[in-house]
Structure 1
């Protein structure tokens, strides 16, 4: 029993008694939780999200910040001390999560505000996937670092991660919004989608006001508020219907190859979209989006050739993130 209590205290930074007290309508020494949760650093159920080896927090938080959707996500603070916050649609209710950029000794500090404490495990697992906390950076570095062109990139950004998704259905919809447009343009479309079709939170928390729209609602929506061509809106509705009915499964047990084929069978879903969903929603560490303009540009600046990518398996998703992070002046620096 003592070992159990010590383990709970190490992971959650709280005793079992304090965790039981941290439910809607109750206040612990960490502040109110759930519907009355406040956006302060001391509120919510505290967690220590452990990871292995080095962790490139600056790159991960920057990646999420550039894609944050108004009302659903926000990144507060300055680089080095930022906090990522987002709303979550969960099986028994909703939640708000906060994760701090400044790492502890092998973990990220996190706080969860849940309307139902029964969602604690699910919410924790989703955030771990979003921040790619179960990766093995040593294995990734060993394989990618063996390539002469990738070695300098790996050395420059030890522990670079490949962020997953806090909600697989949401990620798939956002992938369609990001087709053939810049990150900023995809973000603007996502903002419009949330504003028009998102579910308002019972009580806003800082800049968080909505849950991302669910697939059921999007499948039957005209989506005219997005200002996109009808062909793109039809693709969104087709994908949403497939997700809502289970024709396409994006849960953790889904077969990646089968799911990718099912996605490609949907009108308007091409290799880039299916691959991006496979990488982030299904957590595939070995995806290479060969047609991605930014990937090709980063590889070129690094002096790498995508034709050599067989040697990067099974970690090509991480190679791709290294290319995305290559600065524009890198080629001159490496020459």
Structure 2
């Protein structure tokens, strides 16, 4: 199955390619030149998303190791839009913030910056649990192990990120024996079993406050994980990432202050950028790798 997805003017291919290149070993994502190959499971079928970024167009070849139902085909299309960062349009944030005294210069420097989503909400949630409170290289290594424990290899050789039923079948020792803390393993398995049993739904149509309540009710999931899921999984355009240390560090730098603002003050600093606080967060993250005179 071939799908062509138009890319908007000013689309920043390099940002998307960099996001999918984080794991240099390329277990479930492989990036070569302008091409992304990503493995996903859709309703139990191993699927390879083979995407080439051309001029103004994403040329997508979908290779399924089995028959995809109509709902699964819809999920594939959704996954493609997610991994290409097409869910949130950055233009409204730029229009709001380009003359802003605090974020204006940063917004102009990062015009066209996009938030790349995980292929599925479940992937975003599990990645948030895996990566919380550990350094990025270790988190990537754990994620790789998680995929190879619970996922499945596509006929192309690319591993597919697991769905909830695949993770729910794991024993705790399958994770703890591979350097997962007991707390991370328990939370991952608890989440997967709730989703697999239908006790917790992960629907993009749910309102953010409803999502927040249902996720916080899961033992082991805290506010940071919820915020990450809202941003990278659900793709909501107005996530307030005031608890994120990097956001607070970026504000400290922009304000030229000696200490990071507290969480309450950071929340207040983000308030003027409603309903585009997700893009404000992306802009702040990007600023940490830029000089203010760039």
Compute the displacement of 1:187 (Å): 0.9
Q: SS of the counterpart of 2:49?
A: strand
- Contact 1:56 1:160 survives alignment (8 Å): yes
Greater Rg by CA: 1
Q: SS of the counterpart of 1:175?
A: helix
Write out aligned runs for 1:62-211 (5 A): 62-66=18-22, 70-77=26-33, 82-91=34-43, 93-101=45-53, 103-105=54-56, 107-115=57-65, 116=67, 118=69, 119-201=72-154, 203-205=155-157, 208=158, 210-211=159-160
Give the count of matched residue pairs: 279
Q: SS of the counterpart of 1:62?
A: helix
Q: Which of 294, 299, 305 is 2:246 aligned to?
A: 294
TM-score (normalised: structure 1): 0.75
> Structure 1 residues 172-181 or 241-250, which shifts more?
241-250
Match of 2:275 in 1: 314
Q: SS of the counterpart of 2:77?
A: helix
Match of 1:50 in 2: 6
Compute the displacement of 1:50 (Å): 1.9
- Paired with 1:292 and 1:94, the residues of 2 have a C-alpha distance of 34
Q: SS of the counterpart of 2:58?
A: strand
Q: CA RMSD in A?
A: 2.4
Q: SS of the counterpart of 2:156?
A: strand
- Contact 1:302 1:323 survives alignment (8 Å): no
Q: SS of the counterpart of 2:111?
A: coil
- Paired with 2:127 and 2:45, the residues of 1 have a C-alpha distance of 22
Give 5+ residue unaligned stretches, structure 2: none
Match of 1:266 in 2: 218
CA, structure 1 residues 91+219, in 2 after alignment: closer, same or farther (shift >3 Å)?
closer
CA, structure 1 residues 317+69, in 2 after alignment: closer, same or farther (shift >3 Å)?
farther
Give 5+ residue unaligned stretches, structure 1: 1-44
Q: SS of the counterpart of 2:40?
A: strand
- Contact 2:81 2:87 survives alignment (8 Å): yes
Compute the displacement of 1:195 (Å): 2.2
- Paired with 2:214 and 2:270, the residues of 1 have a C-alpha distance of 25
Compute the displacement of 1:246 (Å): 2.3
TM-score (normalised: structure 2): 0.85
Match of 1:14 in 2: none
- Paired with 1:238 and 1:191, the residues of 2 have a C-alpha distance of 20
Q: SS of the counterpart of 2:236?
A: coil
- Contact 1:135 1:161 survives alignment (8 Å): yes
Task: Report 1 or 2 for greater relative contact order, CA contacts < 8 Å, sequence distance ≥ 6.
Answer: 2
